Structure 1
Amino acid sequence: MTTVTTRTVEYPADGLTMVGHLALPAGTGPRPAVLVGPEGMGLGDVERRRAEALAELGYVALAFDLHGGRYLGDPEEMLARCLPLLDDPDRMREIGGAALDALCAEPRTDPDRIAAVGYGTGGAIGLELGRAGVGLRAIGTVNATTTGRPGEAARIRCPVWAGVGSEDPIMPPARRDAFTAEMRAAGVDWRLTVYGGALHAFHHPPVDHPVVAGVGHHPRHARRAWRDVVDLLAECLPVTEGPGRGTDEHAGAGH
């Protein structure tokens, strides 16, 4: 296993002090980098492990924060914060842009080679960075087939991959259809993977607190979704030196 260095990174966004988790690969030179966005609950150990798994692959990875260092395990509190956020593209862009600035402040980040990978709310933020015209190399989302303001998807300048569970009541077929229609109309290089039988947040290992209805872990599809993310990055943001594939176990997808 390669040596991965981690540290906490604090930065301001949305009127809060955000507390991100930065993972650096072995070596000293600049590397491609990945923003890792969490589900609506916020930054937790699952996202930290995913950032570290990406660092094992040779990427600089920042798992960014949504709630000022807090993890919202109470579904009502999480929804009270996230639903207004998801309805406000400018706030999402502010949160994502601040995380991107923090990632670019790391000397080992190659600022011309950055991708965004996000889950749920974190995935929606990645899409909004694309709609804002940020020069990302790839956008990958799970559970975030969200649409933006009319016409702004034309600013997306990179491939977009989205994964969603077929039985996800939060991102149902109508939401998926609207997302794909938006991508088609904008001429985006997009893909959608539907994981049969999976619910919302199927990628996330079970948690020890209440969750919203329609959430459920699917271990097999969790592993597949992680491989799909890694393949997207390998295609659009290849690492020219360093180790090979990271494991889904380190990403929290195989538990």
Structure 2
Amino acid sequence: MTILTRTIEYPADGLTMTGHLALPAGTDHRPAVLLGPEGTGLSDVERRRADALAELGYIALAFDLHGGRYLGDPEEMLARCMPLLADPHRMRGIGHAALDVLRAEPRTDPDRIAAIGYGTGGIIALELGRDGVDLRAIGTVNGLATGRPGEAARIRCPVWAGVGSEDPIMSAEQRNAFATEMQTAGVDWRLMLYGGAQHAFHHPPVDHTVRPGIGHHPLHAERAWRDILDLLTECLPLTENPPSPNPATR
């Protein structure tokens, strides 16, 4: 499918953010996906994912975290991201600013939007849900931070999360805390554990220094992408009619 792409600048977190908007051909209203990057920031990896979603028929916005910068130096990235991750108000501000851009696109169906993110971007997607934003689905890879007490009850859509079993950042304790938060809040949630995968297993190899415990896993990267597409197919179908029931469940 032919797609159109454009760069969009918008303010957030005291910075001028640079997002990547991808649209399928046509003029009709379409369901839309907000796509958040890892803590290093928006790169061609996320732009290609947004383009792939547009090729399927979704409107997709890959949003920015760092004012147009990609933070390949781990220390610089941590210096920027750790205070951000400790401040739900700032994360929600970044998420809402990007969501406003996506909703402002004339072809976006404002009642059919999902938020998908990786690492920091995934945590921001979760924070939008905890803030009560009307989303059709939330998907997060490597981003399982728990929120403030009681706020998960404001999540109004299914939540899917994926994490590597050998991820030292998203430890078993962190996974259990996330599961407890979602279950206590009555959220429709799923957690996929990818055996043998480390942190950022979905991200292709990079040409700069990375922290220990970070590594690409090609097989699980492909599986995680398919799992995200399955989430969108279920919760954000490209037609307004839901999928037919499975006869085996009748």
Global fold match (TM > 0.5) = yes
Structure 1 residues 153-162 or 208-217, which shifts more?
208-217
Residue 32 of structure 2 aligns with which residue? Answer: 33
Q: How does 1:1-255 map to 2 (within 5 A)?
A: 2-240=1-239
Deviations 1:136-157 (A, max 9, x none): 0000000011100000000000
Code of the residue aligned with 1:96 in structure 2: it is: G
Letter in 2 for 1:32: P
Q: Which of the pair has the greater relative contact order for Cα pairs under 8 Å at 6+ separation?
A: 1
| SS, match of residue 223 in structure 2 | helix
The alpha-carbon deviation at position 95 of structure 1 amounts to 0.1
1:213, 1:98 → 2: CA distance?
Answer: 33
Q: CA deviation at 1:109?
A: 0.5
Residue 26 of structure 1, CA deviation? 1.4
Unpaired runs of 5+ residues, structure 2, are 241-250
Identity of counterpart residues, as a percentage?
80
Shift of 1:213: 1.7
Q: Return the alpha-carbon distance in structure 2 between the equivalents of residues 126 and 20 of structure 1.
A: 16
**2-side partners of 1:157 and 1:42: how far apart?**
27
State the 4+ residue runs in structure 1 displaced beyond 3 angstroms.
Answer: none
For normalisation by structure 1, the TM-score amounts to 0.93
- The whole-number CA distance in structure 1 between the counterparts of 2:111 and 2:210 is 38
Q: Distance in 1 between matches of 2:50 and 2:110?
A: 17
Count of matched residue positions in the alignment of Structure 1 and Structure 2: 240
TM-score by length of 2: 0.95
Amino acid across the alignment from 1:157: R
The superposition leaves residues 2-36 of structure 1 with CA deviations (integer Å, 9 ceiling, x where unpaired) of 10100001110000000000000111101000000
Q: How much has 1:169 moved relative to structure 2?
A: 0.1
Residue 240 of structure 1 and its aligned partner are, at CA, apart by 1.8
